[in-house]
Structure 1
Amino acid sequence: MTETAPGLGEFDFAGDDHVVPFYVEGLDVRGRAVQLGPMLDAILERHNYPLPVARLVAETVVLTVLLGTSLKFEGKLIVQTQSDGPVDLVVADFSTPDRVRAYARYDEEALAAAERGGRTQPHELLGSGILAFTIDQGAHTQRYQGIVALDGATLEEIAGAYFRQSEQIPTKVRLGVAELLDRDAHGKPRHRWRAGGMVAQFLPESPERMRQPDLHGGDGDDGNGQFEEDDLWTEAKVMVETIDTDELTDPTVGTERLLYRLFHERGVRVYQPQVVYDRCSCSRDKIRNVLDGLSREDIENSIEDGLIKVTCEFCSTTYRFEASEVRSQ
């Protein structure tokens, strides 16, 4: 462990919308933790999602932030679901070093039926399908994509399966979302969202210690193979599993206090927090480039009252183009 990594209390607490990297020397565990407040509110308020959809988007944003802030290069992490549930598409992306955006697509009738039946947990809203993790380093590079099945498991479990399948790193993820009803400075009722999460990974110096139980082999595999998980990783997982939603989302607990509660006996260290912002990457020039790639027929079909209007699905910004300026290409 480097001497530059400060202990808890050696700088101000990170607060909302800051990712805190940490290292637990006694457990060979590294990770990141975060509490999201105003940034998440900004994303969800602009779309006015029904509450179950907002919760699902919030979980996806937390997961994307935790994974995206680990990127060591200039690029983008895209986390996207495609499924057959009431919410058939959720997309969140993180652009280095600090920009986050997200949106969801849902079927109103199917969502209403799910709510009547009490099936509003995130994994129930998604149904069956896939969750894709895509890393894009920009032009002249090849995208990397990892895909795991949406099979009724939670996003926490699916993220763990992704790391086991693609990175072969023992990983534990916790996600939590809370809906708050309070009053503003003028006494008016207001609705706010909070969310938090943690990702912990077992990274000992000896890679042999990272070995995990074999994946189930399908029909004929009785799953009785002998396997002993590393004791330190077992301990770390048990600690992370004790986290409840209140600890992940309560601003009076805070990320550093939670890390201290979990790991202080094992020597937890924290690093400089990284701020994240609600910022979309759309622009008028980018939209214009998309329009320039459309056929003449598509352009004509898009014109209403002499204008072409394009609304960004992420930030809801509407761009207006005169028909003449697009036709001129």
Structure 2
Amino acid sequence: MKIVQELKDRGIAPAGNDAVLPYAVEPLDVRGRAVFLGPSLDRILDRHDYPVPVSRLLAEAVTLVTLLGTSLKFDGRFTLQTQTDGPVSMLVVDFETPDGIRACAKFDADAVAAAEREGRGDAPSLLGRGHLAMTVDQGANMQLYQGIVELDGIGLEEVAHRYFLQSEQIPTVVRLAVAEILDRQEGTMPRHRWRAGGVLAQFLPEAPERMRVPDLHPGDAPDGAEVHEIEEDDAWVEARTLVETLKDEELTDPDLTVEQILFRLFHERGVRIFTPQAVEDRCRCSRQRVEGMLRSFTEEEIRDMTKEENRIEVTCEFCSSQYDFEAEKILADVN
């Protein structure tokens, strides 16, 4: 608790849960962000009541997007979406600046249950093969930027590493962890809560030649082909190695703070922390938005959606909010 007391003595409040903490380790030319997610993650996952393996995977994706989305310096959106052949066929996590996050998943319940029974409940097994897209939307009249990462039996940490290597050529390391914790508050029934932690570190020296990284293996190179090897900068090797030492238990311990995690990692070099950025579970759906979406369909499509008593019911896949419309009013606008 020494670091927490030191922050209080300086008049600095700890970031707490659901707040991303930017940091810098200047002697190592490293900048990054760290986060612990708690109540916001509970709300997202409790709303959907997914099987535990699906909730764990989605929580990991939410943590990754929180670390990446809060780096945007403009009004916009950062979206992660997977399309795969695994038991969890799709994940969608959407971050809207400055602080809104929402998420959902599509999965085959029988396939997920079978994978869990067989001990294949890890992220690579649940995702299977396919691709993951990370999209940056800077708003109207601005070009979308999208990076695609092949999913070939890798987890989300490796996805992040490949994404930055392919799209930005920035040496990056990410650690993610998720846990379900039994909360025993006095006077209440014990309940399960979700907790996730993540740390991202990037090597950003003034001299760009120090950032050189080896090319990704092409996968189809002939036997005996020369492997592209580059000696990594000593400062980056030190920083990357330190982040990789983080254990899952540290990143999900409710008695630790992000400040303590960063101090454990970098106290010998000195770590600077900046103003934390809060994040919250927030969906963008509204009656007006849904109604506008319905008006974009054809008359035939609208009639196919219409149920008994001439009603159209729409449920938001992100927040489970339900909207009810009179079909004839929508058709009148379409016609």
Give me the TM-score of the superposition, normalised by structure 1: 0.95
Tell me the equivalent position of 1:63: 64
Q: 1:216, 1:223 within 8 Å by CA — same for their partners in 2? A: no
Is residue 278 of structure 2 the alignment partner of residue 275 of structure 1?
yes
How far apart, in 2, do the equivalents of 1:287 and 1:301 lie?
Answer: 17
Is residue 77 of structure 2 the alignment partner of residue 44 of structure 1?
no
Other structure's SS at 2:256 match:
coil
1:297 to 283, 296, 300: 300
How far apart, in 2, do the equivalents of 1:187 and 1:51 lie?
Answer: 23
Other structure's SS at 2:272 match:
strand
2:86 counterpart letter in structure 1: G
How far apart, in 1, do the equivalents of 2:154 and 2:26 lie?
Answer: 31
How far apart, in 1, do the equivalents of 2:303 and 2:185 lie?
Answer: 48
Offset from partner CA, 1:272-303 (integer Å, 9 cap, x none): 00000100000111100111111111111211
Tell me the equivalent position of 1:152: 153
How far apart, in 2, do the equivalents of 1:184 and 1:298 lie?
Answer: 50
Tell me the equivalent position of 2:170: 169
Other structure's SS at 2:260 match:
helix
Ranges in structure 1 where 5+ consecutive residues have no aligned partner: 1-6
Tell me the CA shift for residue 99 of structure 1: 0.1
Is residue 320 of structure 2 the alignment partner of residue 319 of structure 1?
no
2:152 counterpart letter in structure 1: D
Tell me the equivalent position of 1:251: 254
RMSD, matched Cα: 1.4
Tell me the CA shift for residue 216 of structure 1: 2.2
2:286 counterpart letter in structure 1: S
Other structure's SS at 1:265 match:
coil
Identity %: 57
Tell me the equivalent position of 2:199: 198
CA 1:323–1:226: 2 relative to 1, 3 Å: closer
Offset from partner CA, 1:8-28 (integer Å, 9 cap, x none): 664111110000000001100
Tell me the CA shift for residue 78 of structure 1: 0.2
CA 1:111–1:225: 2 relative to 1, 3 Å: closer
Tell me the CA shift for residue 118 of structure 1: 1.2
Q: What count of residue pairs does the alignment treat as equivalent? A: 323
Tell me the equivalent position of 1:262: 265
Tell me the equivalent position of 1:233: 236
Q: 1:86, 1:110 within 8 Å by CA — same for their partners in 2? A: yes
Tell me the equivalent position of 2:83: 82
Is residue 288 of structure 2 the alignment partner of residue 285 of structure 1?
yes
Offset from partner CA, 1:157-194 (integer Å, 9 cap, x none): 11111000000000000000010113344331211000
Tell me the CA shift for residue 224 of structure 1: 4.3
Offset from partner CA, 1:24-63 (integer Å, 9 cap, x none): 0110000000000000000000000000000000000000
Offset from partner CA, 1:134-160 (integer Å, 9 cap, x none): 011122122110001111111101111
CA 1:247–1:51: 2 relative to 1, 3 Å: same
1:69-148 map, 5 Å: 69-148=70-149
Question: Which consecutive aligned stretches of 4+ in structure 1 deviate over 3 angstroms post-superposition?
Answer: 7-10, 221-226
1:219 counterpart letter in structure 2: A
How far apart, in 1, do the equivalents of 2:156 and 2:88 lie?
Answer: 14
Q: 1:8, 1:270 within 8 Å by CA — same for their partners in 2? A: no
1:314 counterpart letter in structure 2: F
Tell me the CA shift for residue 223 of structure 1: 4.7
How far apart, in 1, do the equivalents of 2:137 and 2:229 lie?
Answer: 39
Worse-matched range after superposition: 97-106 or 116-125? 116-125
Other structure's SS at 1:111 match:
helix
Q: 1:78, 1:91 within 8 Å by CA — same for their partners in 2? A: yes
Give me the TM-score of the superposition, normalised by structure 2: 0.93
Worse-matched range after superposition: 306-315 or 295-304? 295-304
Offset from partner CA, 1:197-256 (integer Å, 9 cap, x none): 011000000000000123224323645455311000000011001101121111211100
Other structure's SS at 1:64 match:
helix
Other structure's SS at 1:328 match:
helix
How far apart, in 2, do the equivalents of 1:107 and 1:224 lie?
Answer: 40
2:313 counterpart letter in structure 1: K
Other structure's SS at 1:250 match:
coil
